């Protein structure tokens, strides 16, 4: 059941992006920026948590989820440390993902070479 | 000048008439299926960590790390761009697509060296994502502080 | 006094130069297309044994020059000028290739129109009495163009249907004051035309107004009618650009459809998933120097209007939201002087 819900929620989030791309000629880079920003806003006003409760990984794996984690991290840290938390919380909450992206990104670009498209 | 604008508008109408439209329905279907499947892979690992006693929130970070690993690896072995050709947003929006956007330029610009090639190009797309994501989260935190603090 | 100029933009040569020889080299994908039998050399690997694609393109450029020279039994020292162009920033392919040749060189940039631009200037130099032998070469490479203008190769993106596929290939023509044809009898130099198109993935739409302008001007200047030509062929309008071009010409009461072809459409089969068609400075160069010249020599087409079109955009101009200027140069290639 949770697989079905993750599939549905994740699929719908991707479909919205696809329609945006096809209708407005937004590039993938702009879509990613848009999604992370929207995710942080939805996370900040507390809506995204409800989507996660329903969709599980379907809501956390898309970049909206990354934005949500950043915002949730900032709020959590503000509660704990006051105003400094607004600056430390976002990156603390997402440190694992970002560090992994840097580490594996570097590693695999050293190991592999690009191939031309067929 | 006014004549130019009219001429441009007239031409735009002609050009638009012959512009093949993206096959929206097919694209949407592919995006839905592939995007959904990638999220299910995430769900599989999420369930795995929860079964081992983590809370879903705690499990978020290791799941993200694994998904980033998979996205980077599939890009390295040259499969992710083939998926993307069909899946479109279905493979862009998941965090695996974020990893793809890091590895693909880094690999491509390796010839320009390990500092200005690999390391700086890694952040071609990831850089803006982090800038806007972190920027927004700071604003969210500040607003929270002043409203509720 | 400009005694050889006729009309507003056209030159008619007193002693038309001949294209005495040509050389072509293409990548694996082009080597699977419908024109595969007409190319001198087909690469099995588009890195051509080099460490970077830029180096591979440079080697293709050199080899197409060498192939053309060899067929004409000439040495590079017989050549008065090398005229070359490509798509990379600061036309590095042409300049780096020319390092090896030790010959006076003109570097041109006209994007995908460069082959016709080069033939125009070379013909003027020869008819003007400034040279006897000139090599004109252009090249493009899918993988070097893609990273400069669009996305990294391994990034998972969808190419829109209006997009074109940059041809991996290089073509050379050797022009001589002394030859038996095919002759270059007229050239019409295009104006830069910009009707405000901004989509870098739809270059056909950006270039069509320039192509229409040059074609109309050519017929006005020369007094030729469509019946004077056996074939009118553009460089890389591709399918989207072709439809627009036909409509633009119909509006001016000119219908060339029966005699019209486009190098970007001819070079690939529709099953090769190139969307609108081929493009790149190498596209018109390899189709002209491979397929088309052989057709002219065998008398299938006796007089051809060759119009190479260019979209004069750069990654910077695209990012700054500028529209895309287009240009088209027309060259009359004929079996009769």
C195-218 pLDDT, tens per residue? Answer: 999 999 999 999 999 999 999 999
Statement: residue C11 has pLDDT above 80: yes
User: Is A117 part of a structural domain of the chain?
Assistant: no
* Closest in B78, B88, B100 to C158, CB measured: B88
CB contact A61 to B (< 8 Å): yes
pLDDT at A44: 96
pLDDT at A117: 80
* Residues of chain B found within 8 Å of residue A29, distances taken between Cβ atoms: 101, 124-125, 128
Statement: residue C181 has pLDDT above 90: no
CB contact A47 to B (< 8 Å): no
**Beta strand C41-42 pairing with C18-26:** parallel
To the nearest 10°, report the CA torsion of C239, C244, C249, C251. 150
Q: Which of A54, B92, B120, B140 is nearest to C158 (CA)?
A: B92
- pLDDT band of C183, cuts 50, 70, 90: very high
Average pLDDT over residues B27-51: 97
pLDDT at B4: 86
pLDDT in tens, C108-167: 999 999 999 999 999 999 999 999 999 999 999 999 999 899 889 999 989 999 999 999
pLDDT at C35: 97
Q: How many domains does chain B have?
A: 1
Q: In angstroms, what separates the C-alpha of B142 from chain C's closest C-alpha?
A: 33
pLDDT in tens, A27-54: 999 999 999 999 999 999 999 999 999 9
- pLDDT band of B66, cuts 50, 70, 90: very high
User: Is A118 part of a structural domain of the chain?
Assistant: no
Rounded percentage of chain C residues whose pLDDT exceeds 90: 96
CB–CB contact C157 B75 (8 Å):
no
Q: Which domain holds residue A42?
A: 2-111
Residues 6 or more apart whose Cβ sits within 8 Å of residue B148: none
pLDDT at B117: 94
Statement: residue A71 has pLDDT above 80: yes
CA distance C150 to C143: 10
pLDDT at B127: 96
pLDDT at B76: 97
Q: Which residue in chain C has the smallest CA separation from B84?
A: C156
Q: Which domain holds residue B102?
A: 2-108
Neighbours of A, requiring at least 3 CB pairs below 8 Å, are B, C
pLDDT at B126: 95
Would you list the domain boundaries of chain C? 5-176, 183-334
User: Is B6 part of a structural domain of the chain?
Assistant: yes
Between positions 18 and 57 of B, the ones with CB within 8 A of C are 18-22, 27
CA distance C27 to C169: 6
User: Is B87 part of a structural domain of the chain?
Assistant: yes
User: Is B91 part of a structural domain of the chain?
Assistant: yes
Statement: residue C16 has pLDDT above 80: yes
* Closest in C46, C157, C160 to A28, CB measured: C157
Residues 6 or more apart whose Cβ sits within 8 Å of residue A24: none
CB–CB contact A85 B119 (8 Å):
no
* Closest in B103, B110, B141 to A105, CB measured: B103
CB A112 within 8 A of CB B78: yes
pLDDT at B148: 81
User: CATH class for domain C183-334?
Assistant: alpha beta
CA distance B32 to B42: 15
User: Is A100 part of a structural domain of the chain?
Assistant: yes
pLDDT at A118: 72
Q: Which residue in chain A has the smallest CA separation from C30?
A: A118
CA distance A97 to A63: 11
Q: In angstroms, what separates the C-alpha of C334 from chain B's closest C-alpha?
A: 33
Neighbours of B, requiring at least 3 CB pairs below 8 Å, are A, C
CB contact C244 to B (< 8 Å): yes
**Beta strand C133-140 pairing with C326-334:** unpaired
CB C240 within 8 A of CB B18: yes
CB contact A23 to C (< 8 Å): no
Q: Where are the beta strands (DSSP E) in chain B?
A: none
Average pLDDT, whole number, for chain A? 96
Locus of tokens 């002209």? C288
User: Is A44 part of a structural domain of the chain?
Assistant: yes
pLDDT at C313: 95
CA distance B143 to B137: 10
User: Is B98 part of a structural domain of the chain?
Assistant: yes
CB–CB contact C160 B22 (8 Å):
yes
- pLDDT band of B1, cuts 50, 70, 90: low
User: CATH class for domain C5-176?
Assistant: alpha beta
CA distance C118 to C85: 8
Tokens of B59: 């499990």
Average pLDDT over residues A84-112: 97
Which of C55, C58, C149, C156 to probe by mutation at the B interface, max B CB count within 10 Å?
C156
Which ipTM did the prediction report? Answer: 0.95
Q: In angstroms, what separates the C-alpha of A27 from chain C's closest C-alpha?
A: 9
- pLDDT band of B149, cuts 50, 70, 90: low
């Amino acid at each position: 059941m949770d697989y079905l819900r993750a599939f549905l929620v994740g699929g719908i989030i991707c479909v919205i992006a696809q329609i945006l791309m096809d209708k407005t000629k937004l590039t993938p880079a702009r879509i990613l920026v848009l999604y992370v920003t929207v995710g942080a806003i939805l996370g900040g006003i507390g809506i995204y948590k409800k989507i996660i409760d329903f969709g599980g990984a379907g809501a956390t794996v898309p970049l909206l989820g990354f934005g949500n984690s950043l915002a949730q991290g900032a709020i959590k840290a503000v509660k704990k440390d006051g105003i400094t938390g607004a600056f430390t919380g976002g990156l603390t909450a997402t440190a694992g993902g970002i560090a992994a992206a840097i580490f594996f990104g570097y590693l695999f670009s050293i190991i592999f070479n690009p191939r031309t498209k067929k | 000048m006014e004549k130019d604008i009219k001429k441009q508008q007239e031409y735009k109408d002609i050009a638009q008439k012959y512009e093949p439209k993206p096959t929206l329905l097919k694209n949407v279907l592919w995006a839905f299926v592939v995007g959904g499947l990638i999220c299910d892979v995430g769900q599989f690992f999420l369930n795995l960590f929860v079964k081992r006693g983590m809370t879903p929130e705690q499990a978020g970070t290791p799941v993200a790390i694994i998904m980033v690993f998979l996205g980077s690896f599939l890009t390295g072995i040259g499969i992710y761009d083939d998926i993307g050709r069909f899946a479109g947003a279905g493979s862009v929006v998941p965090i695996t697509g974020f990893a793809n956007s890091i590895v693909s330029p880094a690999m491509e610009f390796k010839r320009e060296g390990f500092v200005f090639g690999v390391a700086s190009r890694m952040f071609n797309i990831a850089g803006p994502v982090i800038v806007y994501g972190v920027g927004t989260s700071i604003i969210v935190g500040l607003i929270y502080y002043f409203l509720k603090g | 006094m400009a005694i050889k100029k006729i009309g507003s933009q056209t030159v008619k040569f007193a002693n038309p130069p001949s294209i005495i020889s040509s050389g072509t080299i293409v990548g694996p994908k082009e080597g699977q297309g419908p024109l595969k039998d007409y190319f001198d050399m087909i690469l099995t690997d588009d890195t051509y044994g080099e460490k970077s694609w830029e180096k591979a393109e440079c080697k293709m450029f050199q080899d197409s020059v060498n192939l053309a020279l060899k067929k004409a039994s000439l040495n590079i020292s017989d050549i008065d000028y090398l005229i070359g162009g490509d798509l990379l920033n600061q036309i590095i392919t042409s300049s780096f290739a020319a390092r090896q040749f030790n010959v006076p060189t003109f570097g041109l940039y006209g994007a995908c129109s460069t082959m016709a631009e080069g033939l125009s200037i070379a013909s003027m130099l020869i008819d003007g009495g400034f040279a006897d032998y000139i090599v004109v070469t252009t090249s493009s490479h899918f993988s070097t163009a893609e990273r400069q203008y669009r996305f990294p190769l391994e990034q998972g993106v969808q190419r829109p249907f209006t997009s074109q596929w940059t041809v991996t290939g290089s073509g050379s023509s050797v022009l001589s004051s002394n030859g038996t044809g095919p002759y270059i009898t007229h050239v019409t130099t295009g104006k830069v035309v910009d009707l405000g198109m901004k989509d870098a993935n739809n270059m056909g739409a950006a270039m069509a107004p320039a192509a229409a302008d040059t074609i109309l001007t050519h017929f006005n200047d020369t007094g030729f009618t469509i019946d004077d030509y056996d074939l009118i062929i553009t460089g890389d309008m591709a399918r989207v650009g072709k439809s627009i071009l036909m409509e633009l010409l119909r509006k001016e009461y000119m219908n060339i459809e029966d005699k019209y072809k486009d190098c970007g459409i001819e070079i690939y089969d529709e099953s090769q998933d190139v969307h609108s068609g081929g493009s790149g400075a190498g596209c018109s160069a390899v189709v002209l120097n491979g397929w088309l010249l052989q057709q002219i020599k065998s008398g299938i087409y006796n007089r051809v209007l060759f119009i190479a079109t260019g979209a004069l955009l750069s990654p910077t101009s695209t990012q700054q939201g500028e529209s895309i200027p287009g240009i088209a140069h027309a060259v009359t290639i004929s079996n009769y002087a």
